[in-house]
């Protein structure tokens, strides 16, 4: 199962590999060390203690979510009548991420969200793909069913806060970003941070909303508010070259089903 001739593929390719694994390796040794089984499954061939086996997709039409490991699930996506998924993807750090989910699209229907990482499309691992390659894969995929393996928003996290007696959580938001925290507020007590964008309020996507609308969502949210946040440096990198108009006009802001 070793492939003797081709050099190993790395994402990205490195000009020099002399420090790989701390050893000076000849190209023969590199090939020997870097060519594992060509299985594309999430787990290696053969049983290992505690190994999770990825469930096979079976014959189910429509939507299906199956958790493969914590935070990683398999979903089935269809295309709409125009052959679109409503999904825009971006390469970040050699991974493929959801950059945009259009409202009322197949992607919104299966619960894909900004910041989700796409690990596989139709059985192929996405590591090292360009955004273009990922979109081409979507384009040529079957309109009836595209199988994706997705990791839930690895760059985001949630913080739950409580409104005070005047109904505020204690954040000052500008253009979706937390810029200030009120002393002695629930936001301060719970260690919310500045330089973070609010992605969701109680699971509802607020990216692309005007601040006024975001505040209205906050005001209507009930006493216990779970905010999904992402560091600004990462958010700003993820939305690079995504037209601001597209974000504001197209993004799915529907209230999620429980």
List the interface residues with its own copies, window 10-69 (CB under 8 A): 10-14, 17, 19-22, 32-44, 48-51, 69
Q: Shortest gap between Cβ of 36 and its own copies (angstroms)?
A: 3
Among 79, 102, 113, 196, binds its own copies (CB under 8 A): 196
**Coil, strand, or helix at residue 32?**
helix
Among 27, 60, 130, 194, binds its own copies (CB under 8 A): 194
Return the number of the residue (49 or 245) whose C-beta is nearest its own copies. Answer: 49
CA 190 from centre of chain = 25
Other Cβ atoms less than 10 A from the Cβ of 236: the count is 13
Q: Shortest gap between Cβ of 230 and its own copies (angstroms)?
A: 11
| 193 scored as a contact of its own copies (CB under 8 A) | yes
Q: Shortest gap between Cβ of 103 and its own copies (angstroms)?
A: 22
Degrees to nearest 5, angle at CA 176 with 172 and 179: 35
Degrees to nearest 5, angle at CA 93 with 86 and 3: 105
> Residue 241: left (phi > 0), alpha (psi -120 to 50), or beta?
left
- The DSSP 8-state label assigned to residue 6 in this structure reads S
**Coil, strand, or helix at residue 30?**
helix
- Report the C-alpha gap between 106 and 75 in whole angstroms: 11
**Binding range to its own copies, per CB under 8 A, among 3-11, 98-106, 132-140, 249-257:** 3-11
List the interface residues with its own copies, window 139-178 (CB under 8 A).
Answer: 151, 154-155, 157, 160, 162-166, 168, 170, 172, 174
Return the number of the residue (64 or 168) whose C-beta is nearest its own copies. Answer: 168
- Tell me the two tokens of residue 186: 């629930």
Q: Shortest gap between Cβ of 167 and its own copies (angstroms)?
A: 9
Q: Shortest gap between Cβ of 30 and its own copies (angstroms)?
A: 10
CA-based Rg of the chain, rounded to a whole angstrom?
21
The phi and psi torsions of 184 (rounded to 5 degrees) equal: 65, 15
**Binding range to its own copies, per CB under 8 A, among 101-109, 138-146, 197-205, 227-235:** 227-235
Return the number of the residue (59 or 165) whose C-beta is nearest its own copies. Answer: 165
List the interface residues with its own copies, window 96-125 (CB under 8 A).
Answer: 117, 119, 125
- Tell me the two tokens of residue 226: 């779970």
113 CB-near residues (< 8 Å, 6+ apart): 98, 101, 153, 199, 200, 205
HSE at residue 105, side-chain half, CA atoms within 13 A, is 20
Among 82, 140, 212, 241, binds its own copies (CB under 8 A): 212
Among 85, 186, 228, 250, binds its own copies (CB under 8 A): 186
């Amino acid at each position: 199962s070793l492939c003797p001739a081709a050099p190993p593929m790395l994402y990205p390719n490195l000009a020099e590999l002399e420090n790989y694994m701390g050893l000076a390796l000849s190209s023969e040794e590199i090939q020997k060390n870097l060519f594992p089984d060509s299985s594309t499954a999430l787990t290696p061939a053969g049983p290992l203690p505690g190994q999770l086996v990825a469930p096979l997709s079976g014959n189910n039409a429509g939507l299906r979510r199956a958790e493969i490991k914590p935070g990683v699930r398999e979903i089935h996506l269809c295309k709409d009548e125009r052959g679109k998924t409503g999904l825009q993807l971006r390469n970040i750090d050699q991974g493929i991420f959801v950059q945009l989910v259009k409202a009322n699209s197949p992607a919104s229907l299966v619960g894909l969200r900004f910041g989700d990482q796409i690990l596989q499309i139709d059985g192929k691992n996405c590591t090292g793909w360009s955004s273009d390659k990922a979109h081409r894969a979507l384009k040529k995929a079957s309109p009836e069913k595209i199988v994706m393996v997705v990791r839930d928003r690895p760059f985001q996290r949630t913080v739950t806060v409580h409104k005070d007696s005047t109904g505020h959580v204690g954040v000052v938001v500008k253009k979706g970003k937390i810029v200030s925290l009120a002393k002695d507020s629930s936001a301060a007590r719970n260690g919310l941070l500045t330089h973070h964008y609010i992605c969701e309020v109680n699971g509802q996507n607020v990216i692309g909303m005007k601040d006024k609308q975001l505040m209205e969502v906050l005001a209507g949210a009930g006493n216990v508010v779970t905010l999904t946040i992402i560091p600004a440096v990462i958010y700003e990198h993820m939305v690079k070259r995504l037209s601001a108009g597209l974000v504001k006009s197209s993004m799915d802001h529907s209230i999620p089903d429980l």
